[in-house]
Chains A and B, each alone.
Chain A
Amino acid sequence: MNDVEEIIQKANKYRWEIGENLHDAILESIYTDAARIADKTVTRQGGKQKFDWDRWIDKLVTGRWTGFPIMFLLLVIVFWLTISGANVPSAMIASLLVDTIHPLLKDGANFLHFPWWLSGVLIDGAYLALAWVISVMLPPMAIFFPLFTLLEDFGYLPRVAFNMDNLYRRVGAHGKQALTMSMGFGCNAAGVIAARIIDSPRERIIAIITNNFSLCNGRWPTQILIATIFIGGAVPSFLAGVTSAAAVMIVAVLGVLFSLIVSWALSRSVLKGEASAFSLELPPYRPPRFLQTLYTSLIDRTIMVLWRAVVFAAPAGVAIWLVANVTINNVSIAEYFINWTDPYAMILGLNGVIILAYIIAIPANEIVIPTVLMLTVLTTKATGLGAGAGVMFEMESVNDTAALLHAGGWSVLTGINLMLFSLLHNPCSTTIYTIYKETKSMKWTLISTFLPIVMGIVLCFFVAQFWQLFA
């Protein structure tokens, strides 16, 4: 081993003599050789410089004045296509799963003499939760994910990162956070894992904590439905679709703003440091392969996310049925809780139903809306809707939902604050677990979990106070 040590010593000695520019010299020699070989083997045909589409598109989508407007426009178009395209198939699936199959299952259970609580837990609880999640989530996801994947395949994502890079760097975070944020729009757990592309631990933790501010696909349905009812309902009907899409986009952009603000606060306080530089190559635009994209985004993303929702929805359905049907002195547990939290929730411009729905929906954001509707029926004692107390149901149209919510004492303020709270609350349990796996730190996991809730409560409080002051 001694002669090995000698070689290393010798190398160390030489290193002092050579000085610092060895790295550059090596690179230079590599570049020279590469250029020589490329020069020999590559030929460019025809002097006619054709119009360079790539350069032209890049100038437009990353331009100082055009970049952001185009980004917002694309977002609105994607949301609008999702919102307007998803309604019809959603209604069809719901009528099949809820209106047709559910009564059949009930009849079957009666025929087999199931005790009432068993058919309640299984059919009115677990099955209806599944049916609702599938009918509400499958159509928007089957539209949203392929659109998103087409943009990705085309090469648009790096341009978004390019546009956002400057903003993220200025708040002391890594420019690649723009990419993990985009992934978060699909699923926060995926976005948290994607933060591995950031090398510096400091910037990676910032990216992980703030990923929750990207509206994930489990929250899109909430945003879309509430926007349709309360925002779309407040404008003339021919503007409703575009206005709701714009409202959803505003909430999404607000999320990006929050991620910037929180990144800034973190990098100035507990996660101090300079933003590290990185190089981002803008890849060439490639014509997306439609069929393949459709296939992989349906199989990889849609089915996977749906499967996760289904796995969480079934037990949640059981829980909902239980809190609504287990009674003490003829009052259900759900009602006790709602009556108890209502006064506090009102201060936040929300109500007890929403608070309980969010607690039940911790495993999966997807089931917030069905839970809200079911609990509202329960507390307003509305009749003729759904299949009895504690049953999640699909209403015939958005109008019925609106009528029910108005009857439950909802106002435009409740709608707006529900949208805000849906943006700013704890990540779902899968994301929390993923954060723990990625950071291996209880501290950062807890911060990622509770920071958004605190922010959501504070924001809802101020919005509610201002609203009551001026309205």
Chain B
Amino acid sequence: MVTPDSNCFNCPAHNSANLVKLGIDMSNFDYVVALAGNPNTGKSTVFNALTGLKQHTGNWPGKTVGRAEGAFQFGDKRYKIVDLPGTYSLLSTSTDEEIARDFILFGQPDVTIIVVDASRLERNLNLALQVLEITDRAVLCLNLIDEAKRHHIQVDDRLLSKNLGIPVIPTAARQNVGIQDLLKNIHAVATGEYICKPYRMRSEIKNVSHAVEDLNKELEAKFPNLANTRWIALRLLEGDQRVIDAVRSGEIGNLTPVETENS
């Protein structure tokens, strides 16, 4: 959460003056931002808060079909933002999960915002951890903190940030609380000011460590630029056809980290 910002940049007045909601004007963007999360955590509300668009929001899961796109400008950078359908996991058991997974893996967003419901953190972290297996650059949007407070639930956002290795920002998007902070951190991750050290799975997966390690080693040797070889290895073991095809065609190898592009 600590970023080497100038005092000006930290000042809320400066920042709100700096957010330009571009709606659907998506020309010449500098960064692509993906919005992932469980159903009904307020992704579309965050999307609206950032873009000024009026995606219909509703209190029921599965409301966003397909994906919506919009844009905003913060500082001197233009961002394109993609609202992915809400899913509980990325293990591609349904079309929704596949759309979300494919975009995060192959669409290579510069930043993935993971929107979670603060009052249901444990369940929501399942998806967050899977996103962090795939991508290095993410921001956790700890949404609905007002509701969590109402239910007397407190989340230690600093400790969570330390554990996950990515910025964690408490927000109440419906009331526009924390959106400035969220923007600042998206900016920091996109520009490389904040280097994420994403949490990677630690718990042993029964009976397969040997196979995973073996494949992992081979994949690392073949695709030295790839950051998520362990995850790819698991997908291969599970027989995920889309990933197998991508490995076979070499598409996977082109998914190099984008850090070098930014000064």
Contacts and interface: CB of A to CB of B under 8 A. Distances in A.
A158 B58 CA distance: 10
Contact of B125 (A10, A38, A44): A38
Interface string B153-191: 111110110011000000000100000000000000000
A35 B122 contact: yes
A382 to B, nearest CB: 45
A44 B155 CA distance: 9
Interface stretch (A12-20, A76-84, A121-129, A319-327): A12-20
B236 A8 contact: yes
B215 A157 contact: no
B62 interface: yes
A356 interface: no
Contacts of B193: none
A383 to B, nearest CB: 49
Contact of A34 (B119, B125, B156, B207): B125
Interface of chain A: mostly helix, strand, loop or mixed: helix
Interface in A447-462: none
Interface in B74-121: 88-89, 91, 94-96, 119, 121
A179 B40 CA distance: 15
A11 interface: yes
A275 to B, nearest CB: 15
Contacts of A32: 203
Interface string A1-31: 1011111101110110110011101111111
A199 B85 CA distance: 13
A33 B201 contact: yes
A280 B40 CA distance: 11
Contact of B247 (A8, A15, A29): A8
Interface in A176-219: 176, 179, 193-194, 196-197, 199
A296 interface: yes
B126 interface: yes
A27 B206 CA distance: 11
Interface residues of B, number: 63
Interface stretch (B2-10, B24-32, B237-245): B237-245
Given A11-B215, A18-B237, A35-B122, A4 B222 contact: yes
Contacts of A14: 208, 211, 214-215, 237
A154 interface: yes
A50 B152 CA distance: 10
Most buried by A among B59, B96, B121, B214: B59
A299 B238 CA distance: 48
B211 A18 contact: yes
B233 to A, nearest CB: 7
Interface residues of A, number: 64
B121 to A, nearest CB: 5
B65 interface: yes
Interface in A20-71: 21-23, 25-35, 37-46, 50
A10 B247 CA distance: 13
A10 B160 contact: no
A343 interface: no
B218 interface: yes
A154 B89 CA distance: 26
Given A14-B211, A176-B62, A284-B119, A29 B54 contact: no
Interface in A287-314: 289, 296, 299-300
Contacts of A27: 89, 91
Contact of A283 (B40, B211, B222): B40
Contacts of A342: none
Interface in B45-64: 54, 56, 58-62
Most buried by A among B61, B128, B211: B61
Given A34-B126, A38-B121, A197 B208 contact: no
A19 to B, nearest CB: 8
Contacts of A99: none
Contacts of A6: 218
A152 interface: yes
Interface in B219-263: 219, 222, 233-234, 236-239, 244, 247-248, 250
A152 B60 contact: yes
Nearest to B133: A30
A11 B237 contact: yes
A155 interface: yes
Contacts of B205: 22, 25-26, 28-29
A25 B126 CA distance: 14
A286 interface: yes
B238 A42 contact: no
B15 interface: no
B238 A17 contact: no
A44 B153 contact: yes
Nearest to A153: B59
Given A4-B250, A23-B238, A30-B130, 6 more contacts: A21-B206, A25-B208, A26-B91, A153-B59, A283-B60, A300-B54
Interface of B: 39-40, 54, 56, 58-62, 65-66, 88-89, 91, 94-96, 119, 121-123, 125-126, 128-130, 147, 152-157, 159-160, 163-164, 174, 199, 201-208, 211, 214-215, 218-219, 222, 233-234, 236-239, 244, 247-248, 250
- Closest 3 A/B residue pairs (Cβ): A38-B122, A11-B236, A34-B125
19 contacts: A3-B218, A8-B248, A10-B215, A18-B207, A18-B208, A22-B208, A22-B237, A25-B207, A27-B91, A28-B205, A33-B203, A35-B122, A37-B125, A41-B160, A43-B155, A153-B59, A179-B60, A281-B40, A283-B61
